[in-house]
Structure 1
Amino acid sequence: MNIGILTLRISLPGCASLKEKRQRMRGMHQRYGRNPAVAVCESDQRDRLESSEWTFVVAGLRVPEVESLCSEIENKVQRTVDGRVMEATREIL
């Protein structure tokens, strides 16, 4: 079993309230948490209005499978979130 940890720091320019932040980030758990190989949580920046950090833990039998799923998640977040991915870090265990 291989584990990948993908952490994305997202900038939310112009975000004026925590309610707006939740609306802009809504659906992260539903979109990615449905996959039994993925666990997702908001890992930092919870109280900051203009940024958010999300961590995805991905499990797979082979490293290429884990890396592929991490890339898929990162690309999908960049396309679907009303914000900008400022930093992405990956670690394979």
Structure 2
Amino acid sequence: MHIAVMNVRISLPGCTSLKEKRQRMGGLHERYGRNPVVAVCESGEHGRLEASEWTFVVMGNERQKAESLCSEIEEKLQRTVDGRVMEVTREWL
């Protein structure tokens, strides 16, 4: 079993309320948490309106499959989140 922990930092310029922050993040937990090999949570920047940090734990029987899924998540985030992905880090367990 191969496990990747992917941390994503997102900038939300001009965000002025917690409600707007939630709307701009667009339900990441519901979208990605449905996949049985992915766990997702908002892991940081709780107190800042103009930033958000998310952690994805991706599992796969083969490292290549887990890497592919991480890349797919990263690409979808770039396209769907109303903000800028500032940093993505991956760690393998």
**Which TM-score tier does this pair reach, normalised by the shorter chain?**
over 0.9
Which residue number in structure 2 is paired with residue 55 of structure 1? 55
Residues 34-66 of structure 1 show CA distances to partners (whole Å, capped at 9, x for unaligned) of 000000000000120000000000011011011
Q: TM-score, normalization: structure 2?
A: 0.97
Whole-angstrom CA distance in 2 between matches of 1:30 and 1:7: 17
Identity %: 71
Q: Give the TM-score normalised by the residue count of structure 1.
A: 0.97
Number of aligned pairs?
A: 93
What CA RMSD, in Å, does the superposition of the two structures yield over aligned residues? 0.6
Structure 1 segments unaligned to the other structure (5+ residues): none
How far, CA to CA, are the matches of 2:41 and 2:7 in structure 1? Answer: 10
**Residue of structure 2 equivalent to 1:20:** 20
Which aligned segments of 4 or more residues in structure 1 are displaced greater than 3 angstroms?
none
Once residues 88 and 45 of structure 1 are traced to their aligned partners in structure 2, the CA distance between those partners, rounded to angstroms, is 15
Within 5 Å, which residues of 2 pair with 1:57-72?
Answer: 57-72=57-72
Q: State the Cα distance separating 1:26 from its structure 2 match.
A: 2.8
Structure 2: stretches of 5+ with no match in the other structure = none
